[in-house]
Structure 1
Protein backbone atom coordinates (compact mmCIF):
# COMPACT_ATOMS: atom_id res chain seq x y z
CA UNK A 1 0.00 0.00 0.00
CA UNK A 2 1.44 3.37 -1.08
CA UNK A 3 1.54 6.18 1.39
CA UNK A 4 0.68 9.65 0.17
CA UNK A 5 3.44 12.25 0.61
CA UNK A 6 3.19 14.48 3.61
CA UNK A 7 2.89 18.17 2.82
CA UNK A 8 4.59 20.38 5.36
CA UNK A 9 3.99 24.13 5.29
CA UNK A 10 7.19 26.05 4.55
CA UNK A 11 6.84 27.95 7.83
CA UNK A 12 7.19 24.71 9.77
CA UNK A 13 10.67 24.14 8.34
CA UNK A 14 11.99 27.53 9.38
CA UNK A 15 13.31 28.25 12.86
CA UNK A 16 11.01 30.30 15.02
CA UNK A 17 11.26 34.01 14.36
CA UNK A 18 13.04 33.67 10.99
CA UNK A 19 11.68 34.73 7.67
CA UNK A 20 13.02 34.11 4.22
CA UNK A 21 14.07 37.08 2.16
CA UNK A 22 11.43 38.15 -0.30
CA UNK A 23 12.27 36.61 -3.67
CA UNK A 24 12.75 40.00 -5.35
CA UNK A 25 15.19 41.12 -2.64
CA UNK A 26 17.13 37.86 -2.95
CA UNK A 27 17.31 38.30 -6.74
CA UNK A 28 18.55 41.90 -6.42
CA UNK A 29 21.17 41.03 -3.81
CA UNK A 30 22.38 38.05 -5.83
CA UNK A 31 22.88 40.30 -8.86
CA UNK A 32 24.98 42.73 -6.81
CA UNK A 33 27.03 39.96 -5.26
CA UNK A 34 27.60 38.40 -8.67
CA UNK A 35 28.99 41.75 -9.86
CA UNK A 36 31.45 41.70 -6.95
CA UNK A 37 32.33 38.01 -7.22
CA UNK A 38 35.26 38.44 -9.54
CA UNK A 39 38.84 39.04 -8.36
CA UNK A 40 39.52 41.54 -11.15
CA UNK A 41 36.47 43.61 -10.21
CA UNK A 42 37.50 43.63 -6.57
CA UNK A 43 40.96 44.73 -7.62
CA UNK A 44 39.44 47.51 -9.72
CA UNK A 45 37.31 48.65 -6.78
CA UNK A 46 40.46 48.84 -4.65
CA UNK A 47 42.11 51.09 -7.25
CA UNK A 48 39.20 53.46 -7.96
CA UNK A 49 39.14 56.49 -5.65
CA UNK A 50 36.05 58.03 -4.07
CA UNK A 51 34.83 61.40 -5.35
CA UNK A 52 35.90 64.06 -5.97
CA UNK A 53 38.92 62.15 -7.27
CA UNK A 54 38.70 60.09 -10.44
CA UNK A 55 40.94 57.65 -12.26
CA UNK A 56 41.27 57.31 -16.00
CA UNK A 57 40.50 54.00 -17.64
CA UNK A 58 43.96 54.20 -19.24
CA UNK A 59 45.55 54.13 -15.76
CA UNK A 60 43.41 51.16 -14.73
CA UNK A 61 44.36 49.20 -17.82
CA UNK A 62 48.03 49.83 -17.08
CA UNK A 63 47.65 48.68 -13.47
CA UNK A 64 46.18 45.29 -14.40
CA UNK A 65 47.53 42.50 -16.53
CA UNK A 66 44.38 42.50 -18.64
CA UNK A 67 43.54 43.79 -22.07
CA UNK A 68 41.68 47.08 -22.42
CA UNK A 69 38.45 45.40 -23.63
CA UNK A 70 38.49 43.08 -20.59
CA UNK A 71 39.04 45.99 -18.18
CA UNK A 72 36.25 47.92 -19.91
CA UNK A 73 33.91 44.93 -19.52
CA UNK A 74 34.59 44.70 -15.79
CA UNK A 75 34.13 48.46 -15.39
CA UNK A 76 30.81 48.27 -17.22
CA UNK A 77 29.56 45.52 -14.87
CA UNK A 78 30.56 47.60 -11.84
CA UNK A 79 29.02 50.73 -13.32
CA UNK A 80 25.78 48.99 -14.34
CA UNK A 81 25.39 47.76 -10.76
CA UNK A 82 26.03 51.19 -9.24
CA UNK A 83 29.40 50.52 -7.58
CA UNK A 84 31.28 53.11 -9.67
CA UNK A 85 30.34 56.24 -11.57
CA UNK A 86 31.80 57.29 -14.88
CA UNK A 87 32.52 60.62 -16.56
CA UNK A 88 33.65 61.10 -20.12
CA UNK A 89 36.50 63.61 -20.36
CA UNK A 90 37.54 64.06 -23.95
CA UNK A 91 38.38 60.67 -25.40
CA UNK A 92 38.90 59.02 -21.99
CA UNK A 93 36.48 57.84 -19.35
CA UNK A 94 37.21 58.58 -15.69
CA UNK A 95 35.76 56.56 -12.81
CA UNK A 96 35.06 57.16 -9.15
CA UNK A 97 33.82 54.88 -6.40
CA UNK A 98 30.21 55.07 -5.20
CA UNK A 99 30.95 54.52 -1.53
CA UNK A 100 27.28 54.63 -0.54
CA UNK A 101 26.51 51.62 -2.75
CA UNK A 102 29.30 49.59 -1.17
CA UNK A 103 28.14 50.59 2.31
CA UNK A 104 24.53 49.66 1.51
CA UNK A 105 25.61 46.26 0.17
CA UNK A 106 27.72 45.72 3.28
CA UNK A 107 24.78 46.56 5.54
CA UNK A 108 22.55 44.12 3.64
CA UNK A 109 25.11 41.35 4.10
CA UNK A 110 25.47 42.19 7.79
CA UNK A 111 21.71 41.96 8.28
CA UNK A 112 21.69 38.59 6.55
CA UNK A 113 24.55 37.38 8.77
CA UNK A 114 22.79 38.65 11.90
CA UNK A 115 19.63 36.78 11.01
CA UNK A 116 21.55 33.50 10.84
CA UNK A 117 23.13 33.78 14.26
Structure 2
Protein backbone atom coordinates (compact mmCIF):
# COMPACT_ATOMS: atom_id res chain seq x y z
CA UNK A 1 0.00 0.00 0.00
CA UNK A 2 1.19 3.52 -0.76
CA UNK A 3 1.58 5.74 2.37
CA UNK A 4 1.09 8.97 0.41
CA UNK A 5 -2.50 8.18 -0.55
CA UNK A 6 -3.48 6.80 2.83
CA UNK A 7 -5.43 9.17 5.11
CA UNK A 8 -4.16 9.43 8.67
CA UNK A 9 -6.24 7.37 11.00
CA UNK A 10 -5.44 9.43 14.11
CA UNK A 11 -4.85 13.06 14.94
CA UNK A 12 -1.41 14.38 14.28
CA UNK A 13 0.46 14.81 17.52
CA UNK A 14 2.68 17.79 18.06
CA UNK A 15 4.98 18.35 20.95
CA UNK A 16 3.55 20.61 23.59
CA UNK A 17 5.39 23.88 23.99
CA UNK A 18 5.56 25.13 27.54
CA UNK A 19 6.82 28.70 27.95
CA UNK A 20 9.43 29.34 30.54
CA UNK A 21 8.74 31.70 33.45
CA UNK A 22 10.87 34.45 31.88
CA UNK A 23 8.78 34.65 28.71
CA UNK A 24 5.52 34.50 30.66
CA UNK A 25 6.56 37.41 32.87
CA UNK A 26 7.68 39.46 29.83
CA UNK A 27 4.39 38.80 28.06
CA UNK A 28 2.45 39.78 31.20
CA UNK A 29 4.46 42.99 31.52
CA UNK A 30 3.95 43.93 27.89
CA UNK A 31 0.20 43.24 28.08
CA UNK A 32 -0.04 45.31 31.26
CA UNK A 33 1.84 48.16 29.60
CA UNK A 34 -0.54 48.03 26.63
CA UNK A 35 -3.55 48.08 28.95
CA UNK A 36 -2.13 50.96 30.98
CA UNK A 37 -1.39 53.06 27.91
CA UNK A 38 -4.83 52.45 26.46
CA UNK A 39 -6.52 53.30 29.77
CA UNK A 40 -4.38 56.29 30.65
CA UNK A 41 -4.60 58.00 27.25
CA UNK A 42 -8.10 57.59 25.82
CA UNK A 43 -8.43 58.76 22.24
CA UNK A 44 -11.27 61.17 21.56
CA UNK A 45 -13.73 60.01 18.94
CA UNK A 46 -13.15 61.96 15.78
CA UNK A 47 -15.22 59.91 13.38
CA UNK A 48 -16.30 63.01 11.45
CA UNK A 49 -12.77 63.82 10.38
CA UNK A 50 -11.70 60.24 9.76
CA UNK A 51 -14.63 59.37 7.55
CA UNK A 52 -14.80 62.82 6.00
CA UNK A 53 -18.48 63.09 6.81
CA UNK A 54 -20.37 66.30 6.98
CA UNK A 55 -21.85 67.18 10.37
CA UNK A 56 -25.33 66.68 8.92
CA UNK A 57 -24.53 63.09 7.97
CA UNK A 58 -23.41 61.88 11.39
CA UNK A 59 -26.69 60.88 13.04
CA UNK A 60 -29.75 59.03 11.88
CA UNK A 61 -33.24 59.78 13.10
CA UNK A 62 -35.75 56.95 13.35
CA UNK A 63 -39.19 57.91 12.09
CA UNK A 64 -42.28 55.98 11.10
CA UNK A 65 -42.92 54.98 7.52
CA UNK A 66 -45.92 57.34 7.37
CA UNK A 67 -43.81 60.29 8.52
CA UNK A 68 -41.17 59.44 5.91
CA UNK A 69 -43.85 59.35 3.20
CA UNK A 70 -45.19 62.72 4.38
CA UNK A 71 -41.70 64.25 4.26
CA UNK A 72 -41.26 62.86 0.74
CA UNK A 73 -44.57 64.45 -0.27
CA UNK A 74 -43.47 67.79 1.18
CA UNK A 75 -40.23 67.53 -0.80
CA UNK A 76 -42.22 67.03 -4.02
CA UNK A 77 -44.64 69.87 -3.26
CA UNK A 78 -42.07 72.43 -2.16
CA UNK A 79 -38.86 73.74 -3.62
CA UNK A 80 -36.77 71.59 -1.27
CA UNK A 81 -34.54 68.86 -2.65
CA UNK A 82 -33.59 67.00 0.53
CA UNK A 83 -35.38 65.81 3.65
CA UNK A 84 -33.11 67.78 5.96
CA UNK A 85 -34.20 71.02 4.25
CA UNK A 86 -37.85 70.23 4.98
CA UNK A 87 -37.03 69.32 8.58
CA UNK A 88 -35.01 72.54 9.03
CA UNK A 89 -37.89 74.65 7.74
CA UNK A 90 -40.32 72.81 10.06
CA UNK A 91 -38.02 73.52 13.02
CA UNK A 92 -37.76 77.18 12.04
CA UNK A 93 -41.55 77.43 11.74
CA UNK A 94 -42.05 75.70 15.11
CA UNK A 95 -39.53 77.96 16.86
CA UNK A 96 -41.04 81.12 15.36
CA UNK A 97 -44.73 80.28 15.85
CA UNK A 98 -45.09 77.85 18.75
CA UNK A 99 -42.39 78.63 21.32
CA UNK A 100 -42.85 81.52 23.71
CA UNK A 101 -40.18 84.25 23.73
CA UNK A 102 -38.22 82.74 26.63
CA UNK A 103 -38.15 79.30 25.02
CA UNK A 104 -37.22 80.84 21.65
CA UNK A 105 -34.30 82.73 23.21
CA UNK A 106 -33.15 79.60 25.05
CA UNK A 107 -33.37 77.53 21.86
CA UNK A 108 -31.37 80.04 19.84
CA UNK A 109 -28.73 80.31 22.58
CA UNK A 110 -28.35 76.55 22.95
CA UNK A 111 -28.30 75.96 19.20
CA UNK A 112 -25.57 78.58 18.78
CA UNK A 113 -23.53 76.76 21.44
CA UNK A 114 -23.96 73.49 19.52
CA UNK A 115 -22.69 75.08 16.30
CA UNK A 116 -19.37 76.01 17.90
Q: TM-score, normalised by structure 2?
A: 0.23
Structure having the higher strand fraction is: 1
**Which of the pair has the greater relative contact order for Cα pairs under 8 Å at 6+ separation?**
1
Structure having the higher helix fraction is: 2
